[in-house]
Amino acid sequence: MNIDARYALKIMLPALATLALLLAISPAYSLAAEASAADIEEGRQVAADRQRGNCYSCHHVAGAELAGNVGPPLVVMKQRFPDRAVLYQQIADPRIRNPDTVMPPYGAHGILTEHDRNRDVDYGLSL
């Protein structure tokens, strides 16, 4: 191997190693980031259920049987909530963002389980 080739290899190796690492972790990352269709459907049922989420009584959502207008319509959610944690917090305890809100604190008051809150976030991000 001549000097140039060895030099090129030395420069390329860290880049190749980084690429290999990224490729290795990317399937796991996308699994964690993307909700399954079943998770989204479960979240839709929690949101629609008047004994649980009852979200449609206050929020307009395309295709929902109620057309609530107390809160803002839940649209283009992924763009408006790029950080999942912000949406989760809005559902778990909206008083953190607005102490005077009429939206129920679903986590803080034990209205929805953590599991159901997460499914609602999955559903919300699909809208």
Q: Which residues bind ligand HEC (CB under 6 A)?
A: 47, 53-55, 57-59, 70-72, 74, 87, 90-91, 94, 97-98, 101-104, 106, 120, 124
35/47 with CB nearer ligand HEC: 47
Q: Least distance (Å) from ligand HEC to the CB of residue 27?
A: 29
How far apart (Å, rounded) are the C-alpha atoms in residues 113 and 107?
Answer: 7
Of the candidates 117, 97, 118, the residue with the CA atom closest to the CA atom of residue 107: 117
Q: Least distance (Å) from ligand HEC to the CB of residue 18?
A: 36
Q: Least distance (Å) from ligand HEC to the CB of residue 43?
A: 8
The CA distances from residue 87 to 55, 117, 119, in Å, are: 14, 10, 12
